[in-house]
Structure 1
Amino acid sequence: MSLTLNALAELTGRASEHLLAEEVEESGLDREAVLSAMRERLAVMRESITRGLQSDAPSVAGMVGWNAKTLWDAPDPLNAPLLKRVQAYAMAVNEENARMGRIVAAPTAGSAGTVPGALIGVADHLGLEDEDLVMPLVLAAGVGKIISRTIYIAGASGGCQAEIGSSAAMAAAAVTELLGGGPEACAHAAALALQNTLGLVCDPVGGFVEVPCVMRNGFYAVHAVSAAQQALAGIRSVIPPDEVILAMASIGRLLPLELKETGEGGLADTPTGRKLAARALGEDEEADPEG
């Protein structure tokens, strides 16, 4: 029987070990093959962070491409290196995606920066090795898999809550395990992250995965770390984790089509959003955005 977050919360040991065992059984792969695949994905994540922090080349639509480097190179007036690192890492990955660079969909391309931003950002802040991240990454993948059994992980199906919400839940669980949390804390970290994205719409300007997607990954990588911190302190979701997933699925069905990745509502439907879309698509730049 497939694990749920509620069931995971009742187990002992490392949450990732239970999900790894499930993956081995379901996929037919051996343990080392799964771990090797995770190491490869981790390497791609880190490479995309490195490239993204070094580049200010514009994206395909020209709306982003310089934000991660700008933040990374800027002074830190808050003297909060973890906050800055997590945001910059996440944005770097998504700007690489917007430039058509190689990234790991986690769980989607539009939400690809949240998991590496939070997990690798925290690890680098603490001076941990990449090998320490392999099992937490297994856990992140397992959480994404659990959510996907209830709702399609796509903005077109459930709004951005289904993409960035899922990635935040995955990242929160992974960071929690990285910092020593057990299965109950990991499951509730995922639930805390997910419940605080409920109702988030998918409104990309021009239909491009650029605005608000790049900065949104930066925000929700921090969100995931906050959820992990709360769970590690003993805070638990009042609503059971599995019910939070069901709530997201219900809300996703209620969202209008205009707010599910069509580029026809929200920020995409603002005067400036329409003007930027027309410019990116090579249409008349002087067209009246109110027209």
Structure 2
Amino acid sequence: MEEKNPIQVAGRLFGALEMLIENRSAGLMEISERLGLNKSTAHRVLNSLIYMGYARQNETSGRYEPSLKIVDLAGKIMSNMDIIHMVRPFLRRLMEQADETVHFVEREGVEAVYIDKVEAMRNGIQMVSRIGSRIPLYCSGVGKAMLAYMDEQEVKDVWKNSNIHALTPYTITDFNVFRQELEKTRERGYALDNEENERGVRCIAVSLQEYTGRRRYAFSISAPVSRMDDERIKCLTGYILETKEQIEKIINGLHV
């Protein structure tokens, strides 16, 4: 059951800000209709965002636009994430070895958030993923790579609280089958996403074990199925497992 925002005005402010960011700009009526607010309320919300520096009104078109303040805040958050700076050289080398795009994620609830990405420009094909976007744990390689090492109850909780549905014909939606997949992941040391989240894309992924034993970070190699058959996955296995070992020595060595 979806919970109601305890502070209504916060929902309106962030709803308007998210709309401006997603659409680059919006008119008063667009925001009013999208958020279900009357014009005067929508106008007050927008003026509040302008006052706080998160939005501005284009003098020529009269439309409202997001300011760069949110980018500045995001940059400060990312700069504080030392883990990214530590692993980036390893991810870049992995990208060069595989000649495919590498993603780095952090678990947040029942989802994983892309916090870094090293893009490969092979054949001019780029992945649609972007830093800050989210992906469900239950149907992703990175998600299964982390879930495989969680206890049974935590796996059940993630499954129960996820919106389980078939994103593609290959998405696993049966819990017993999913548990078997996690067992395979533990046995071989890496997880696979066989077009389960996005049709036409396969991934090989591993999670990082921290000194505490938890696994909140994972990374993957992603590629179109035309370049990611079973033989190619076997070739990439050595690269990704070696990278995992090297990164774990670095992040855990800091706590010795």
Higher RCO structure (Cα 8 Å, ≥6 apart): 1
TM-score, normalisation: structure 1:
0.28
Structure number having the greater helix percentage: 1
With structure 2 as the length reference, what TM-score do the two structures score?
A: 0.31
